[in-house]
Amino acid sequence: MNIQMTDLKEQYENIKSEIDAAIQKVINETSFILGQEVKLFEDDICKYFNSKYAVACASGTDALVLSLLALDIGHGDEVITTPFTFIATAEAISRVRAKPVFCDIEPDTFNIDPIQIEKKISSKTKAIIPVHLYGMPADMGKILSIAKSKNIKVIEDCAQSFGSEFDGKKTGIFGDCGTLSFFPAKTLGCFGDGGMVLAKDEKVAQKLQVLRNHGSAQRYFYSLHGFNSRLDTIQAAILRIKLKFIDQWIQQRINNADIYKNSLSGIVNIVVPVEKNGYKHTFNYYNLRVKSGRDLLEKKLKDNGIASAIYYPLSLHLQEVYKDLGYRLGDFPVSELAQEQVLALPMYPELTKEKILKITEVIK
């Protein structure tokens, strides 16, 4: 038996006729760039999140870059974020020529530790980017109250938290902007790259629309230095179909996480994902903390045909690309310990109980 981290094929086969028809419709209409499906998908997303505005773009990374620019963040500004995330979060900050200021994480959620944020705030701080890692929401209550008291912006990186909730509300609508990724392996993925920005403010939403389309509000007239960063109409059409199933798929992820938890509880060397009142985790990734022997376990799984992955093996403050920032080993001990201990197991809606029990048997 071979078990992959995710199985995109099975999901496609289940809804093949609907997806194929949606793609064919876009081809028949040849409205490939900013066709009507893009606007309809933005409307669907607004409804799903209860968000005022949604602006589609070419990737989750672009969604972060566009958000920073739409909030007037750039050269000389500082943006506080977590060192324990995918590179795109910090890369976007650097891309707009602002400076990432890292802040250590909480040991149980792996998310930015609100208690440590305040010490990182300087007169140059313009924004905080919390990441809802693996699908577990960051503590938006504390983060928003700090941001409010210091008058700084909040951009939520929701690339891994589609459908997650904090305090009964979806992640992405707490901050000034919330960014989504439709990379194929995310909870809601398309058939290539895609992204979206959720926004509260009309002016910010308008600026996002102009920025993603060459800085142009009116064809061939340019008011801003923009980008070519649009969501393809074909991807929007695919995503509109997949969105209809997303709550069901998320529930299947949650059920699978329960099966893992029940089967793995009682193993002292392993910590399963934390559960907290008021937090809805959607398990884009099912991530363990293995207190010792993580690499041995990884190998054992592999020998049994079971995939696993390390998100992420080196915290961003220790990456070569950020050596000029002057961080050193020991600066963020919680993040540095996490990079030695985390191990993600296969997780997708169609994963069967039988396969999960096979995985946990090998682990035991």
Ligand X SMILES: *Cc1c(COP(=O)(O)O)cnc(C)c1O
- Min dist CB 109 to ligand X, Å, is 14
From residue 256, how far is each of 2, 229, 352 by CA, in Å? 18, 35, 8
Q: Tell me the backbone φ, ψ of residue 97, rounded to 5 degrees.
A: 70, 25
DSSP state of 174: S
Cβ neighbour number for residue 335 with a 10 Å cutoff: 26
177 touches ligand X by CB under 6 A:
no
The residue (of 11 and 160) whose beta carbon lies closer to ligand X is 160
249 touches ligand X by CB under 6 A:
no
Which residues between 47 and 76 bind ligand X (CB under 6 A)? 59-61
The residue (of 51 and 179) whose beta carbon lies closer to ligand X is 179
Query: How many chain residues are in contact with ligand X, going by CB under 6 A?
Result: 15
- Piece of the chain touching ligand X by CB under 6 A; list 81-89, 105-113, 137-145, 229-237: 81-89
342 touches ligand X by CB under 6 A:
no
The one-letter amino acid code at 18 reads E
- Of 6, 15, 4, residue with least CA distance to 349: 6
Mask 95-134, x = binds ligand X (CB under 6 A)? ------------------------------------x---
- Min dist CB 58 to ligand X, Å, is 8
Q: Burial of 46 by CB count in 10 Å (0-12 exposed, 13-18 middle, 19+ buried)?
A: middle
Mask 185-214, x = binds ligand X (CB under 6 A)? --------x-x-------------------
- Min dist CB 59 to ligand X, Å, is 4
From residue 290, how far is each of 3, 135, 268, 295, 341 by CA, in Å? 20, 19, 9, 9, 5
Euclidean distance between the first and the last CA atom of the chain, given in angstroms as a whole number: 18
Q: Burial of 357 by CB count in 10 Å (0-12 exposed, 13-18 middle, 19+ buried)?
A: middle
Q: Which residue of 103, 159, 197, 238 would you call a contact of ligand X, by CB under 6 A?
A: 159
86 touches ligand X by CB under 6 A:
yes
**Which residue has tokens 């540095």?**
336
The residue (of 197 and 297) whose beta carbon lies closer to ligand X is 197
Residues contributing to the site for ligand X (CB under 6 A):
59-61, 85-86, 88-89, 131, 157, 159-160, 181, 183, 193, 195
